[in-house]
Structure 1
Amino acid sequence: MNICAVIILMGTLVNGATSTIHSLMEFEISSTQVPNFPEFAFVAVLNGLPIQYYDSNTRRVVPKQEWMNRVTEKEAQYWERNAQRGFNIGQMLKGYLEIVRQRLNQTEGLHLLQVMAGCEWDDETDEINGYYQTAFDGQDFIALDSKTETFVAAKSEAFPIKLQLEETGEAVSLTYRMTHVCVKWLKWYMQFEDKLKRKELPLVSFLQKCSSSPVTCHATGFYPDRALLFWAKDGEELDEDPGEILPNHDGTFQTSVSLDLSSVPAEDWKRYSCVFQLSGVTEDLITRLDSSKILSNERKLSTSTITAAVLSGVGVAVVVVTVGIVLYRRHHNNNVI
């Protein structure tokens, strides 16, 4: 099983279209009695892109972005040191998982302990937020409140562990690591990521299931993810919900917006256009709607079009990543663990 590839939705959750917030997140999972799955694995994510992966089967850290191979220019023993770090974290979470299983009286069978740890840094205001959230078998368990340097227990069974962690000073120590050490590494990684500076405009296409369905404007292949796609009529933006920004297999992004034109006469369709705006690019990419160029189930698609559509949507929804998305969503919806 390939448990680290494209992280669906993560770019959207971490960065908004106009945000100047940078993030470094690590999603960790410790498991017991899960067939064909390592006992421990983690994936590190910088600004919505996976940058490195480790699991207990290989005991190696591998780069997930080409530019990550350059880190040894500044730290010769980087990969060896992080492999040891991965092993140490795995052992720690293995012990923690056992404590939780005993506390919940669930010592038999398949179990998972999931962790989201990391930080966000606003490069304009210099505001920093640190996160450390855990879940047991998909259920919220304990989270760090970095503002108060305390832990929050999601259920009564977690309360004794919360108290123990606070008594040993773990809350204070973890807060420092998430708000200082993490940010230091975030900035360190960013010096290598040339992709942060690049700007790539998308390929824009119009899609429609059938002649009576809404028309979808699909933009794929753009970078970075700080972008906005919307419909316009006679040059005026229409009030429609923006689409989610999703990652592609190659590190670029895609998004789409749909518009119901069923009540609009065919001769008026030319008044509509799809507008793409990319942060750092002054000129908008405007694609006027042309009914003859709409791809649909009623019109035969070329092999190259089908291939591009499939590849642009490639994403492995793995356990490590899925957990991270759920935890991150919960936090930003103010449902603190």
Structure 2
Amino acid sequence: MGLPIPNSKLGMWLFLGTEIMFFSAFIGSYIISRNGSPGWPTDPHVTHINVWLGGLNTFVLIVSSYFVVVAHEKMLVSNFKEARKFIAFTLLLGLVFLGIKSVEYAGKFEHEIIPGKIPETPTEAMFATASRLQRVVDRELAAIFPGSPAADRRTELGNRIASAGNETATTDPKDAAPAGKAATVAQLKALSRLNEAASSLENHVRFGLAMSVTPEQLIEYRSSPNPGKFPAITLADVNSFVELLKKDVELSPILGNFHPAVPILYGNLFASNYFLMTGFHALHVIIGLIMFLVLLAMGSKLAFRHAVVVENVGLYWHFVDLVWIFLFPLIYII
């Protein structure tokens, strides 16, 4: 006596049972975190959750699950050529899913929606923006003076500008470190201006003084702090300062797609849950794609006896699809 199913299929069902518990823990943690955190971030413009891309990925996985069913049916009627074709279609759609997900991840990395790096208060956002601006300057300096110690690059920048003979001269290869990025004097001067702006922003944020406070007043405040004497800095003040920098025709090429930090209450908890759930789901998608690759690699050796293998892989893929059907409304819509 026993269950009238192959041992491999029984094993797959038992495995999927453990997987259900695995993802149930993640989903339960997300629900508890969200319900227990008043002010949980739900604005897609803040969290950079793209509902349309999430919906497209849902459609992609549903269609891919249908193709797996068709592939299994073709195996049962010994139409192995058609079975391989639909397995290939499923593989292709799985890659499309990962491609769309990578676009979503890239948007979050660009805006630093990353656990542990998200400012949750206006003050944290101001410090984060100042830090990001300094990193832009450091990146450019490292590209121009790659062989120089980081502490000396700003001095080298000043020396390079001072020794330049005209506005259009480029960096002298003899002076630049190997593989150093070539830059015109105008570009070097623009970088120097951006460095001064970044330092100014950092100092104003550190001492909590508005950007309208002059360097002389800043020095006065540092020597004799008087919180009520000068206006306090605000997040709007910082954002306006950054926008002026981005509109500068000389600085905008250096800043590129620079984004000032946006405070997101419970943002780090949100990002942790988001990347945990979608990351593990993406890992399961990759495992499924590897299974499909193995089936396709069999080529003409794929035979009727492998129908149960295709069915088991299909069960796994349906589970991956089902998990996403839960994750999509939970993260993207609700």
Higher-RCO chain (CA-CA 8 Å, sequence separation at least 6): 2
Pairwise same-fold verdict (TM > 0.5):
no
More strand by share: 1
Q: TM-score, normalised by structure 2?
A: 0.20
More helix by share: 2
The structure with the larger Rg is 2
Q: TM-score, normalised by structure 1?
A: 0.20
